[in-house]
Structure 1
Amino acid sequence: MSRPYRDAAHLQSLLAAVFAYPYSGEEARLLTRSGLSVGFSFLDPALEVLLDGRPGAATADQPAVLFGAAARQAPAADLRFSMNGEVAHRFWTGDLNMVKAMTLGQLRLEGSPIRALSIAGMMPAMQEVYRATREAQG
């Protein structure tokens, strides 16, 4: 597989579109209702991302979205996923078996797996937007 991202700016533009999309329904409110913050540490390309659903950071049903230095300087996330670019692409397309990836050391989760499962319902809609955005960007 060729590298899925040209650079960190390319990955950030894809994720910014995913997180800015106006989701609807209960799944869209999972992060803000739970008050969780979810961080992503991507390697190759290097990018830090924070989705912050904590009170005071989130607005209504939208978590705050921070990239780069702002994500690193924010309070520690409740959950943090760490992965390289190829694994990230499979994660966002929905083609990743997360349990297998964690077992193989390709994906690392810091925080409670139970809490991670509690917000899993929001992933299919985000993955759909990721796939459509990636296709539209070429």
Structure 2
Amino acid sequence: MKIRKALGTSAALMAVLLAAAPTASAGGNWDYGTSRLKLSNGYLWTTIAADWDYPTEQPGGGVYWKMDEWYEKNDGGTITAQFGFSYHGYSYNKGWFTQNVNTTSHEFFNGLGFNDCANVVGWLAVQGQGTFYNAPVTAC
């Protein structure tokens, strides 16, 4: 009887500790930390990971984050586009670029100070076609 009670108490304590522990990294719809959106002429990818190359930690602790977005264009004509992401209702973007068929374009966002589990949504704006939003990833 004492063994069952000790096991029950240990299991309850372990459940509380696991519930309180932070998750290891990021979520996504394709793989751990990665989301992929199939478009009519290719695939838009968004990844998020800890930015171990960033020289400092965030105020109050924690790592900075990095995102990599890329578009694999395998059909259609030349486009003019821009990568970006949204976080807490704010949008961040990089400059416009042109892309031809059968090429891949990349953009990197480094040293990002994500400090909660809010969704980060990568996007690709294409002139004349609109903005395409990837499934969210998170820093948790």
Larger radius of gyration: 2
TM-score (norm 2): 0.28
Q: What is the TM-score when the length of structure 1 is the normalising length?
A: 0.28
Compare the two structures and name the one with the higher helix fraction. Answer: 1
